[in-house]
Amino acid sequence: MARASLNVISFTDYNQAKYPFDYYVECESDDTGALLVKASGASTNEINYNDDALIGATGSALYTEAPTTTYVQLVYGFLKALDATTLQGEFTMTYPSDKYLLVVENLATVSAYYAECAETATGAVTVVASDAGEDEIDYNDATLVDYTGTALYAEAPTGKFVKLYSGDKTLTIKKGNSVQGMEDKAYTITHSREGERYYIRFESGVHKNVYGTDSGKVIVSVTDVLVKVAVLCFR
């Protein structure tokens, strides 16, 4: 089962962290995750040179003008999104005496929001110009915002469907397979101000797997890709 490998950072390194954000570095065209930098019109496996996300390790834009035949790849910062398909992540507990904290951020800053979806999705409603009826919503409805509270549409779209989501998410630390691993531990990660983080302390004996394919690992799952996670290790 695919899982994201969570970043494990010592407490000292975290205090001195220079790069808590995701950034890009130049790479070869055949490197894993390589993206071709384009002047405009980026599609799959490409990125526009002036894309807001295309920053370097200092946090500044990587390019002020479009380069020629240049490839970049993403370097994850401290917090990391879990696997987009399984919504799971994992990390290895190396030393029994170490203490661990999960650091969690929910990118949703509103209590409820909409996102585009397929017409066949459960709960899908049609975006209309005005006079919304059953299973419809006006494009300029005050509640039709994304997870940051920004209006989804500036003008009425055509053939768009949206679904309502809660800004509050759930994070679960899976029980381990030792004798102490009695049950999963679930936490509600409420919508919050941008950049606000939660810190969750847990015991290795309850959540660490001690044998089998996942021996030495702790498994974490979330209900939405908007939740990012990292691990602080105290030694």
**In terms of domains, do 99 and 184 share one?**
yes
**Tally of domains within the chain:** 3
Report yes or no: 206 and 185 within 8 Å, Cβ to Cβ. yes
**In terms of domains, do 32 and 136 share one?**
no
Last residue of a domain, one of 124, 141, 164: 164
Instruction: Give burial (CB, 10 Å; 0-12/13-18/19+) of 56.
Output: middle
What is the pTM assigned to this prediction? Answer: 0.75
**In terms of domains, do 59 and 174 share one?**
no
For 166-219, what is each residue's pLDDT tens digit? Answer: 999 999 999 999 888 889 999 999 998 877 889 998 877 889 999 999 999 999
**In terms of domains, do 122 and 231 share one?**
no
What are the Cα distances from residue 140, in Å, to 129, 137, 153?
8, 8, 7
**In terms of domains, do 127 and 33 share one?**
no
**In terms of domains, do 91 and 123 share one?**
no
Among candidate residues 70, 78, 92, 83, the one with its CA nearest the CA of residue 25: 70
**In terms of domains, do 119 and 141 share one?**
yes
Residue-range definition of the domain harbouring residue 144: 113-164
**In terms of domains, do 70 and 173 share one?**
no
Kindly provide the residue ranges of all beta strands, DSSP E only, lying in the chain, ordered along the sequence. Answer: 4-5, 8-10, 23-27, 35-38, 46-48, 71-75, 80-81, 88-92, 99-106, 112-116, 125-128, 136-138, 161-166, 169-173, 185-189, 198-202, 217-222, 227-234
Q: What is the CATH number of the domain that holds 214?
A: 2.60.120
For 38-68, what is each residue's pLDDT tens digit? Answer: 999 999 999 999 999 999 877 889 999 999 9
For 117-155, what is each residue's pLDDT tens digit? Answer: 999 999 999 999 999 999 999 999 999 999 999 999 999
